Structure 1
Amino acid sequence: MSKRINLMGCPVDDFDMQGTVLEAEKYILNRRQCQHVVVNVAKYVAMQNDPELKKIISSCDIINADGMPLVWASRLLGTPLPCRVAGVDLFQELVGVCAAKGYKPYFFGAREWVVEKMVDEFKKRHPGLNVAGFRNGYFDKSEEGQIAEDIQKSGADMMFVGFSSPMKENFLNRWMPVMQVPFCMGVGGSFDIIAGKTLRAPVWMQEMGMEWFYRILQEPARMWKRYAKTNPVFIWMVLRELVKKNMQTTK
C-alpha cells in the first residue's frame, strides 16, 4: 500500500515502478480519469515562482519522483522514498502494458517526424500495439478545443503528452474533462529519446543522479543555463528544509 509524503511542500507518492503501473491500470479498468506527473529538480524550482503549476501538480492523482536528487532529499529529510520512477522508463513500461492488454495509447507532442518515428519504434517493439492516434505538438491555442475533441473520439485509454513544462501540465489540467482519457501522463522529451533524436544517459550516470550532465553534453547551448540556475536553487531548498527540521527537533 502506497503512502503520499510531503517533500518540501509538494506531495509525492512512494510507489515503485510496479506499484505505479498497477495504480495506473486501476483508472483504466474503472474508467476514472487520472492525471499523472513526475517531479524533478527543475520542476521543484519552477514551482517556487509558479503557484498555478504547483497547484496543478499537487492536485494530480499520481505523483512520482523522477530523479535521484529527490530520492536523496527525501532520505535526508526523514521521509524516504524507496526509489525513483523515471518518466521515460514508466512511459515505455505503460506502452508495453497497452500492447499486452489491448489498451489504446494516444501520443501528442514533438515534431511530426519525431512522433511518427516513435510510433513506428513502438510498433516494432510491440507488434500487437493498437495506437488510438498521434499528433505533433505544434498548434495554435485556438485549436486546443478541437484537438481535445478529436482525442476523445479516438477512444484512447492512455494519453502521453510530449511537451515541456508547464505547458503539458496546464494542457492536461484544462482539457482532461473533454478528452475523457482514463490515464494521462506528461512525458516531456521522452518522444525524442524513443525516436532516437536524443540519447539516454548511461545507467551508471542515471544511478549517480548525473543525467542532467549528460543532457548538457548533448545540448550545451540550451541546457547549461537551465541546470546552472536550477541545481543550486534546489540544493538551497534542501538545506533550508534541513535547518527547519533541526530547529523543530531541538525545541
Structure 2
Amino acid sequence: MQQAASRITFFGTPVDLLDREQTLARAQQAMDSGQPLRHTALNVAKLIKLEGDELLAEDVRGSDLVGIDGMGIVLGLKLFGVDKAERVAGVDLFLDVLALCARTGRRPYILGARQDVLERAMAEAMQRNPGLEFAGARNGYYGPDDVPQIVADIRVSGADCLFVAMPTPRKERFLNAHARDLGVPFIMGVGGSVDVLAGHVSRAPRWMQRNGLEWFHRMVKEPRKMFWRYASTNAAYAWLLLKTKLSGRNPLERY
C-alpha cells in the first residue's frame, strides 16, 4: 500500500496533507507507473461514522491516500496546530482526473449512479474534454450475485482509473473487498460527483465553495435528506473537538 510522506492521523484516522495539485500528481503517477493507488475522501460525516463502524474504519485505513474533503476537517486540524491542511473537494478532483485522462490518453471507468444520470455525466465529460474515451461504465443498481461479473468486466476493460459513484459506506465496502482484483491503477470513490457532472444535482456557488459552505447549500437544497445528517454529525464533531481541546489531549499522530 502506498502512503504519502505527509500522512498523519486525526482521531485515529489517516489523513494525507496534500493540496489539489499534489493529489492530482499522485493520481497521474499511479496511472503512469501502473502501481495501484486507492483514494478516499474524508469529511466530518464520515469521520463521525467511523467512531461507531469498525468495518468502515478498516475500509478507510486500507486506502493509500485519504484526502480532506470538508472544511470541518481543515478547521479541526488547524485547531490542533496543523496549518498546512487544505481541502480538496472530491468533485474537483474527479473533474481534474477526467481532464488529465483526456490529455494523456488514459481511459476511465465509472461504477455507480442511475443509468440515465451516468449516461448524461459521460456525455458531459466528453463534451468538456475532447478526445476523452471511457473504458466502460456500469450503473450502481445491482445485487450481490452481480459483483463477480462487475469485477471481471472492470478488470478486462483495461481502465486506467475507476470512479466509484456510490454512497458511504457502500463504496468503501466494495473497494476494500475488491480493489486488488480490479487491475486498475488509480481508484477513487466519488459519491455524488457524477450527479453534479450530469447536472442532476446543482453545486454551490463559488463563494460558498471557497468558504466551505457547500454542506449548507446541500442542506438547503435537500432538507429532508441532508438536515439531520449535518445537524447530528456537525454537533457530534463540535463536541468531540471541544472535549478533546479542554482535556489537553492531542488527537494527532505523525507517521
Residue 18 of structure 1: SS of its match in structure 2? helix
2:93 equivalent in structure 1: 90
1:22 equivalent in structure 2: 25
Q: 1:51 aligns with which of 26, 51, 54?
A: 54
Q: Distance in 1 between matches of 2:95 and 2:241?
A: 31
TM superposition shift of 1:33: 1.3
Letter in 1 for 2:123: D
- TM-score, normalised to structure 1, is 0.95
Tell me: CA distance 1:90–1:236, structure 2 relative to 1, closer, same or farther (3 Å). Answer: same
1:184 equivalent in structure 2: 187
Tell me: CA distance 1:130–1:52, structure 2 relative to 1, closer, same or farther (3 Å). Answer: same
Is 1:40 aligned to residue 43 of structure 2?
A: yes
2:14 equivalent in structure 1: 11
TM superposition shift of 1:240: 2.5
Letter in 2 for 1:116: E
Tell me: CA distance 1:5–1:38, structure 2 relative to 1, closer, same or farther (3 Å). Answer: same
- Alignment deviations for residues 22-68 of structure 1 (CA, whole Å, 9 cap, x no partner): 11122222211111100001100110110111112122111100011
Give the unaligned 5+ runs of structure 1: none
Residues 111-190 of structure 1 correspond to what in structure 2 (within 5 A)? Answer: 111-190=114-193
**Identity over aligned residues, as a percent?**
41
TM superposition shift of 1:129: 0.4
Residue 37 of structure 1: SS of its match in structure 2? strand
1:198 equivalent in structure 2: 201
Higher RCO structure (Cα 8 Å, ≥6 apart)? 2
**Contact preservation (8 Å) 1:198, 1:218:** no
TM superposition shift of 1:241: 2.4
Give the unaligned 5+ runs of structure 2: none
Letter in 2 for 1:143: D
**Contact preservation (8 Å) 1:163, 1:187:** yes
* Aligned residue-pair number: 248
- TM-score, normalised to structure 2, is 0.93
**Contact preservation (8 Å) 2:62, 2:176:** no
